[in-house]
Structure 1
Amino acid sequence: MHQLSPIAERAAAPATLPEITAGALTWRPAALDDVARVTALNNAMAEADGAPYRETEDETREELAAPWRDLEHDSLLGFDAEGELRATAFVATFPGDVTTVRAFAFGGVHPARRGAGIGREVLAWQLARARQLLAASGKELPGRIGTYAEDDDPAPRHRMYLHAGLEPRRYFSDLKRPLTDGAAAIPDVALTGSLRLVPFSNEVDDATRLAHNDAFRDHWGSQPQTMEQWTASRSEFAPEWSFVVVDDEPDVAALLADEATDASTRAALEAGAPLVVAYALNSRYAADFPVRGYSFGYTDVLGTRRAYRGRKGALAALAASMRAFAGDGMEAAVLDVDTENPSGAQGLYASLGYTKEHGSTMYTIEL
């Protein structure tokens, strides 16, 4: 295996951050008091760019208040002479990263102030700050700086990323499955052996996190989530639409003997905790309904423990989710998938009637 040089060398962090002078804005770090301002700007940008979503103040508050976020050093807000927020720059890192240390850039410029070079300088600041964070992480791992763009975003954004040295690395598809107006029947999925479908509850929350970390270990770009991360963004979470599959009689001895069983799962098994083997956790993004023109349930995460693939656990959880959506009058089921998902998810979704509505691209610098 190729020996990596120290992360501090690979990150090539600048000693000082570049100033943002374009547009004659006044800059300061973000604070929780800025939730309404940031939400309004995010939605103004989303509307101008034709994005298929809108953000609520609760979602913004969760993002800014995450315990691991350092707004004082990892954010900037740019105000015009009238005190109106016109641009934002955020950089986020994640405490659970264990195989790749990551820093992601978020933010943008109000549509009325685009074209003056603000976006380019914001991105330069974000990339410089991301390099500083990776260098200071102390994690001798591969590094990644990333950001996202909707495929329908204005072309200048994509060109700006390319010009700054970011490369298109991964592609995602936003899929829709109608639930009304003659839509195909939701399949009945029979589970075998000791597998049992149950509604999501607090009692299986951490067991579901462990299942998710195992399910996504072989997915590009995925990193384990701490419990703090797992529960941090739930303002739109719909537990009444969410389901998990548990194994009532797992072969504990075989799982403990399997080298692929991670340490956290081992500890849970030894403690007699429930073993979640598949899951579908869903949200109600009501602010997006008018934008898309229909109501929907959104599947945030869906997966199956690697040792249980092929036993239809995730399919059963997803089918139960779709029934819950339909039972509450939702017109469609929606989810997002990595187009190169290694578990064959694309084929599964196609067989269930999901079709692509939107797409997005992850741009990265690999270190």
Structure 2
Amino acid sequence: MSDLESSPALAPIAQRAAAPATLPGITAGGLGWRPATIDDAPALLELRNAVAEADAEPYREVLGEITDLFEAPWRHFDTDSLLGVDADGVLRAYGVVESLPGDTRTVRVMLLGGVHPQRRGEGIGRELFAWQVARGRQVLASCGRELPARLAVFAEDDGPAAKVRMFARAGFTDRRFYADLRRDLRDLVAEPLPDIEPDGLRLVRFGPEHDEATRLAHNDAFRDHWGSEPHTPAQWTNGRTELVPHWSVVVVDDAPDVAALLADPDTDAETAASLRAGEPLVVAYALNERFDADFAVRGYSFGYTGILGTRRAYRGRRAAPAALVAGLRAMAADGMEFGCLGVDTANPTGAHGLYARLGYTRAYGSRMLSIEL
């Protein structure tokens, strides 16, 4: 938790955001600028992958991931995006400002963007980033939520130092660090996975019937994680292009103590309503993805555990470790060479010890830089 998040009193968000009345223009590079539309998805994919290759980022995207961005109802590309196009109509730079509808503890605005490697060194990125920061401040000022606020950017540890320097000049500082881990699955005889059974709970393959219950479990599990905010139903289901349901596992309590959970002050209102309605109670989950476009970049095939967690009332019952291991076995059965996941280096649940015991080792690192308001 940041100092601002624990502060008993804050100035009004419109005052803290210090939003400019007008947005700065972008003249560097002689590009034409306009908002992005879904018709730009193929060109945006090409640009983003060119940026990722130039910056030695350990991933590439596919078209479905880009179209998913445009399908989210909370993204406002008409006001919160810019594309820089050259005289030949080729996309050379992009910037996106994104705010998230589910934020209840800290209002976050994420700034995403890049410049084609052939057009770097002309000042385009610096001016585009100034526009993004200014627009981000406007979004915060008009959000109507009197909460701590954050402008955030992300950078790979092995990425270009010039990008981090640009962020620093704009007032962004290192706020959080993340590690991308991997577990070798090529020889489970020599390096076996442990047999883990959840205590009094049932492992189930993830399916549509578990989706909403898993969202509620995730919102509960991550309430005490720094920087995490609740997922609305729309946020939860967006970006599922690479999800592999038969690799994904949930843990269900078939006989929950409903009275005790309803009496628990930590039980949120949505979970309470679900319990009263007799809906299934998902208590842990491991939702896993497959990013085939990344295999050549990393040099191996892998499955990726996108989200993993346990309801706070069910920690210590081996629920999430059981789901994680079941997912790893499913990946291995499909020929994946590694299982990967990302973790906050300051994770409060002791996850690092679990991952080390399961044989995970660090592969990549990244960081979040922010301005806290």
User: TM-score over 0.5 for the alignment?
Assistant: yes
1:120 counterpart residue number: 126
- Give 1:315-330 correspondences, 5 Å limit: 315-330=321-336
Matches within 5 A, 1:161-310: 161-181=167-187, 184-193=191-200, 195-310=201-316
Q: Tell me, what secondary structure is at the counterpart of 1:222? A: coil
User: 2: CA distance between counterparts of 1:64 and 1:165?
Assistant: 29
Say if 2:82 is the partner of 1:42: no
Measured against aligned partners, the alpha-carbon deviations of 1:109-158 in whole angstroms (never above 9, x if no partner) come to 00011111111111111111111001110000000000100011111001
Instruction: Give the structure 2 partner of residue 9 of structure 1.
Output: 15
- The TM-score normalised by the length of structure 2 is 0.97
Q: Secondary structure at the match of 2:51?
A: helix
> In structure 2, how many angstroms separate the alpha carbons of the residues matched to 1:294 and 1:9?
49
For 2:327 and 2:160, the matched residues in 1 are separated by 34
Inter-partner Cα distance in structure 1 for 2:364 and 2:274: 39
Identical-residue share of aligned pairs (%): 62
Query: Alignment partner of 1:349: what SS?
Result: helix
Cα distance, 1:39 vs structure 2: 0.3
SS in 1 for 2:210: helix
Matched-pair contact (CA < 8 Å) for 2:108–2:151: yes
The reply on whether 1:154 has 2:160 as its aligned counterpart is yes
- Deviations, residues 52-90 of structure 1 (Å, cap 9, x unaligned): 000111001101221111110000000111111100010
Distance in structure 2 (CA, Å) of the matches to 1:346 and 1:189: 17
Give me the CA root mean square deviation: 0.8
Per-residue CA distance 1:220-244 (angstroms, 9 max, x = gap): 0000001110001001111110000
Residue type of the partner of 2:270?
A: S
Contact 2:199–2:319, Cα closer than 8 Å, also in 1: no
What does the per-residue CA deviation read over 1:14-45, in whole Å, with 9 as the maximum and x for residues that have no partner?
Answer: 11111111111100000000000000000001
Cα distance in 1 between the residues matched to 2:70 and 2:53? 22
Write the distance in 2 (CA, Å) between the matches of 1:160 and 1:93: 22
TM-score by length of 1: 0.99
Corresponding residue for residue 90 of structure 2: 84
Q: In 1, distance between residues paired with 2:227 and 2:127?
A: 27
Q: Which 10-residue stretch deviates more, 182-191 or 134-143?
A: 182-191
Distance in 2 between residues matched to 1:310 and 1:239, nearest whole Å: 25
Match of 1:134 in 2: 140
Partner of 2:4: none
Tell me the alpha carbon deviations over residues 222-271 of structure 1, each in whole angstroms, 9 at most, x when there is no partner: 00001110001001111110000000111100000010100010000000
Task: Look up the SS of the partner of 1:146 in the other structure.
Answer: strand
Alignment partners' CA distance in 1, 2:12 and 2:198: 48
Alpha-carbon separation, structure 2, partners of 1:357 and 1:192: 32
**Structure 2, unaligned runs of 5 or more:** 1-6
Paired residue total: 366
CA distance in 1, matches of 2:197, 2:39: 50
Contact 2:28/2:127 (8 A) holds in 1 = yes
Contact kept, 8 Å, 2:13 with 2:140, in 1: the verdict is: yes
Shift of 1:51: 0.7
Cα deviation, residue 184, structure 1: 1.4
Structure 2: how far apart are the matches of 1:253 and 1:108? 52
Residue 272 of structure 1 and its aligned partner are, at CA, apart by: 0.4
- Counterpart contact for 2:136–2:151, Cα < 8 Å: yes
Counterpart selection for 1:339 from 324, 345, 365: 345
